[in-house]
């Protein structure tokens, strides 16, 4: 991770095909295309990759979450349960629909805690979103059972976990809807892009319409299409889809490289007794895009994080002090800072965040170091990196 590290001839071929053809928009201009439809081809390829009936490409992972929720009828005043550890896009996508993000604790999987989900359900709850951060997953079976028990929509945000599996199924394909990001730093990239996947034909049709101004996409005259309902512009371009079409064909190659590099580093630091690793639920296999491990306490984690930075060990993150990915620094959410007036329901729903604490999440995120696994490293570079990481961790534990 990320896929741009290994751009090659296949990506260039697909992009040049679009440029030679001259149609950059995914819809319309049928006569100019000469049969070239990159977005459609990528959607067909992704149905096989994700083992799902339907795929709708969109402009980003953020758009994918909004489109997925809207397609299932989530909107104004509805509550969506989400984790404290994610990217800010999660609550942005919820709030854009007028819905209310309800944040709950994570557990040692670094994903949403099923017990916290159950405790947060109210009559307003409409959906639960499990965010599969840093290449792995939470207890999907238990969360799915909770959703079924309470008649809630179960959304998998697998934007950071493409290639991971649970009980032999691709992550994203287990819930009612799955969301993916193909931005510039994901395992496969379109530059910018995302996807909604589902086995529910109604949700898919809604996503297809909603992501393109409500167009029904009937016939081959775009100007004559009707609009069954309101929609917005979340379209992907043919150029972006062309890059993704090349990259998705290389996903097994990318996962294999990530797994090799991940394993070398994990084997090295696993020899340190004080280091433990995130829990991967039984039946789950990570995408190996990140290596996540826990240190004994917050102080030691901060020392290790600083030691990594001071010694050139890049792309390792201590999310406890991170502005983008953890609740502690989301002051704009807690203080409801918006360019436009928020609804009274959203304001009321977010009011508790000013004073709410998440001790369980702090316990796990405070001790966690998350290291991105690059595909461009040589094996010697990985081995040297692992050796240096072990030395830095041991020094931090002694001091």
Q: What is the model's pLDDT at position 209? A: 98
Domains of the chain, residue spans: 3-250, 252-398
Residue pointed to by tokens 């930075």:
309
The long-range contacts involving 33-39, CB below 8 angstroms and separated by at least 24 positions, are 36/238, 37/238, 38/14, 38/238, 38/239, 38/241, 38/242, 38/245, 39/236, 39/238, 39/241
In terms of Cβ atoms closer than 10 Å to its own Cβ (0-12, 13-18, 19+), residue 175 is buried
Dihedral sign for Cα atoms in the order 237, 243, 249, 251: negative
Which residues touch 182 (CB under 8 Å, ≥6 apart)?
61, 188, 189, 190, 191, 192, 193, 194, 195, 240, 244, 247
**Domain 3-250 adopts which CATH fold?**
3.40.640
Backbone φ and ψ for 306, nearest 5 degrees, come out as -65, -40
Dihedral sign for Cα atoms in the order 173, 181, 356, 111: positive
- 8 A C-beta contact, residue 178 and residue 158: yes
CA distances from 116 to 77, 103, 121 (A): 21, 9, 9
pLDDT tens by residue, 134-168: 999 999 999 999 999 999 999 999 999 999 999 99
Under DSSP, is residue 236 helix (H, G, I), strand (E, B) or coil?
Answer: coil
Question: What is the spatial distance between Cα 12 and Cα 9, in angstroms, rounded to a whole number?
Answer: 5
What is the H or E stretch that residue 324 is in?
Answer: none
Tell me, yes or no, if the pTM score tops 0.85: yes
Question: What is the spatial distance between Cα 76 and Cα 345, in angstroms, rounded to a whole number?
Answer: 8
Listed residue (356, 380, 291) closest to 110, CA to CA:
291
186 counts as catalytic: yes
Question: What is the spatial distance between Cα 197 and Cα 39, in angstroms, rounded to a whole number?
Answer: 14
Going residue by residue through the chain (399 aa), what tens digit of pLDDT does each one get? Answer: 899 999 999 999 999 999 999 999 999 999 899 889 999 999 999 999 999 999 999 999 999 999 999 999 999 999 999 999 999 999 999 999 999 999 999 999 999 999 999 999 999 999 999 999 999 999 999 999 999 999 999 999 999 999 999 999 999 999 999 999 999 999 999 999 999 999 999 999 999 999 999 999 999 899 999 999 999 999 999 999 999 999 999 999 999 999 999 999 999 999 999 999 999 999 999 999 999 999 999 999 999 999 999 999 999 999 999 999 999 999 999 999 999 999 999 999 999 999 999 999 999 999 999 999 999 999 999 999 999 999 999 999 998
Task: For domain 252-398, give the CATH number.
Answer: 3.90.1150.10
Catalytic entry in 38, 126, 186, 374 = 186
Which residues touch 114 (CB under 8 Å, ≥6 apart)?
107, 138, 139, 142, 143, 146
C-alpha angle 143-167-59 in degrees, rounded to nearest 5: 70
Q: What is the model's pLDDT at position 1? A: 82
- 8 A C-beta contact, residue 364 and residue 294: yes
In terms of Cβ atoms closer than 10 Å to its own Cβ (0-12, 13-18, 19+), residue 257 is buried
């Amino acid at each position: 991770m990320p896929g741009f590290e290994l751009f090659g001839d296949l990506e260039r071929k697909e992009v040049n095909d679009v440029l030679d053809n001259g149609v950059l928009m995914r819809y319309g201009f049928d006569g100019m295309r000469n049969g070239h439809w990159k977005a459609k081809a990528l959607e067909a390829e992704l149905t096989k990759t994700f083992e799902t009936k339907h795929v709708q490409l969109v402009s980003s992972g953020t758009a994918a979450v909004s489109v997925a929720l809207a397609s299932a009828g989530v909107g104004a005043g509805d509550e969506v349960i989400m984790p404290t550890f994610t990217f800010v896009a999660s609550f942005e996508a919820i709030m854009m629909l007028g819905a209310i993000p309800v944040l709950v604790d994570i557990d040692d999987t670094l994903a949403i805690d099923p017990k916290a989900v159950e405790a947060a359900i109210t009559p307003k709850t409409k959906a639960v979103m499990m965010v599969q951060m840093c290449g792995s997953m939470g207890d999907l079976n238990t969360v799915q059972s909770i959703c079924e028990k309470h008649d809630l929509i179960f959304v998998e945000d697998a934007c950071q976990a493409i290639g991971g599996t649970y009980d032999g199924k691709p992550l994203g394909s287990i819930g009612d809807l799955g969301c993916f990001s193909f931005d510039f730093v994901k395992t496969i990239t379109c530059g910018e892009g995302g996807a909604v996947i589902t086995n529910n034909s109604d949700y898919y049709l809604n996503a297809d319409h909603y992501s393109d101004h409500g167009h029904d996409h009937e016939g081959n005259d775009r100007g004559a299409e009707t609009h069954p309902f309101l929609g917005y512009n979340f379209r992907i371009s043919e150029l972006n889809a062309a890059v993704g079409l090349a990259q998705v064909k290389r996903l097994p190659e990318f996962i294999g490289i990530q797994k090799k590099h991940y394993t070398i580093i994990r084997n090295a630091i696993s020899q340190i007794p004080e280091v433990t690793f995130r829990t991967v639920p039984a039946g789950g296999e990570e995408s190996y895009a990140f290596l996540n491990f826990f240190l004994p306490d917050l102080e030691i984690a901060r020392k290790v994080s600083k030691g990594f930075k001071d010694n050139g060990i890049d792309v390792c993150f201590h999310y406890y002090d991170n502005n983008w990915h953890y609740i502690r620094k989301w002051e704009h959410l807690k203080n409801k800072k918006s360019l436009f007036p928020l609804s009274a329901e959203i304001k009321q729903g977010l009011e508790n965040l000013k004073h709410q604490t998440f001790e369980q999440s702090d316990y796990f995120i405070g001790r966690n170091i998350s290291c991105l696994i690059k595909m461009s490293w040589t094996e010697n570079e990985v081995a040297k990196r692992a050796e240096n990481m072990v030395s830095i961790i041991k020094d931090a534990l002694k001091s």
